[in-house]
Amino acid sequence: MDLITTMAGWEFLIRYFHYLAGVAWIGMLWYFNLVQTPFFGSELGGQAKSAMTRGLVPVALWWFRWGAMFTFLTGWTIVLMKLHAGIGLTDGYMTRILTGGLMGTFMWANVWFIIWPAQQVVIANAETVAGGGEANPDAAAAGGRAGMASRTNTLLSIPMLFFMATASHWPGFNNGTNDAIYWLITGAIILGCEAQALIGPGAATQKPLTTVSGTIHAGLALTAVLYIVGAALN
């Protein structure tokens, strides 16, 4: 009964649902970027793209966006519970968890305000064309915008998971002693990455995100850079 009668039990439950939602969200994110998009670029995938866009993609996007929503809500609930328990914003735990939380929040916003609206245009266009109607000339641009925002999320997901893990499991890393300088540098780096989703496809800075391997390497490089910043200001 401690699970529902104590604050520690409720915190565990919320964290558990945070994990469940996060697995659904990031799992779908990686499926879209590591599996589906490369498949659509193949000969067989091109033939199946219309049917998959009308049938499979809407279902996958449902789990994708609601996984993002519940990960976002439970994550910030955990932060509020930690603050209520007396862990201050300058505590190393908060520095680490909020670094991951900042990236996660941008990723959530990209899902709901860029990827999902753009994909609705793409899906509607596929339905129209399949029914014998004329193609929407804006569909290709919408698909490109959704794709770049999704690649940006894949990029950010790699360091985001790193900082979420360090929050509770690596207390010696980034103890929050230089938060002002840390957030100035780290915030600028993360905002620079988020800009790739906001400006849409075509910018020279987005070249690493045009391939799966480039996105993974860029994500690992970003993790290393943020780790170095955190370690240097420890």
Q: Which two tokens stand for residue 209?
A: 């995100």
CB 152 within 8 A of CB 197: yes
Q: How far apart are CA 210 and CA 144, in angstroms?
A: 11
State the maximum Cα–Cα separation within the chain, in Å, rounded to a whole number: 63
Q: Which of 111, 108, 135 is nearest to 53 (CA)?
A: 135
Q: What angle do CA 110, 112, 115 make, to 5 degrees?
A: 60
Domains of the chain: total: 1
Q: How far apart are CA 138 and CA 132, in angstroms?
A: 17
pLDDT range class, residue 121, cuts 50, 70, 90: very high
Q: How far apart are CA 125 and CA 57, in angstroms?
A: 13
Q: What are the tens digits of pLDDT across the range 3-21? A: 778 888 898 999 999 999 9
Q: How far apart are CA 53 and CA 59, in angstroms?
A: 10
Q: What are the tens digits of pLDDT across the range 28-72? A: 999 999 999 999 999 999 999 999 999 999 999 999 999 999 999
pLDDT of 122 reads 98
Q: Domain range spanning residue 54?
A: 2-232
Q: What are the tens digits of pLDDT across the range 72-101? A: 999 999 999 999 999 988 889 999 999 999
Q: Quote the pTM value.
A: 0.94
Q: How far apart are CA 149 and CA 200, in angstroms?
A: 7
Per-residue pLDDT for 176 more than 80? no
Compute the radius of gyration of the chain from its Cα atoms.
19
pLDDT range class, residue 162, cuts 50, 70, 90: very high
pLDDT of 1 reads 66
